[in-house]
Amino acid sequence: MQLANFSAAMTGNQTFELAGRPAKYTVLYFYPKDNTPGCTTESLAFRDHLDQFTALGAQVVGLSRDSLRSHESFKAKLGLPFELISDPEEAVCNQFGVMKMKNMYGKKVRGVERSTFVIDADGKLVKEWRSVKVNDHVDEVLEFLKTQP
Residue of higher predicted confidence among 109 and 141 = 141
Per-position b or e across 89-99, b if 16+ CB within 10 A of its CB: eeebbeebebe
Question: Do 58 and 22 touch, CB atoms closer than 8 A?
Answer: no
Rounded percentage of the chain residues whose pLDDT exceeds 90:
89
C-alpha dihedral sign at 136, 35, 50, 129: positive
pLDDT band at 125 (very low <50, low <70, confident <90, very high): very high
Residue from 39, 112, 132, 141 carrying the catalytic annotation: 39
* Whole-number Å distance between alpha carbons of 99 and 112: 5
Query: Is 93 annotated in the active site?
Result: no
Name residues whose C-beta falls within 8 Å of residue 66's C-beta, 6 or more positions apart in sequence: 33, 34, 74, 84, 86, 88
The mean of the pLDDT values for the chain is 95
pLDDT > 70 fraction of the chain, expressed in percent and rounded: 100
Q: Are 96 and 87 in contact (CB under 8 A)?
A: no
Domain ranges for the chain: 22-146
pLDDT band at 102 (very low <50, low <70, confident <90, very high): confident
Torsion of Cα atoms, 127 then 76 then 69 then 32, to 10°: 40
> What is the CB neighbour count within 10 angstroms for residue 26?
19
pLDDT tens-place string over residues 28-75 = 999 999 999 999 999 999 999 999 999 999 999 999 999 999 999 999
Q: Average pLDDT in the 100-129 region?
A: 92
Query: What pLDDT sits at residue 18?
Result: 93
Mean pLDDT of 121-138: 95
**Quick check: pTM over 0.75?**
yes
CA–CA separation, 146 and 136 (whole Å) = 16
Question: Which pLDDT score, from 0 to 100, does residue 50 have?
Answer: 98
Fold exhibited by the domain 22-146: Glutaredoxin (3.40.30)
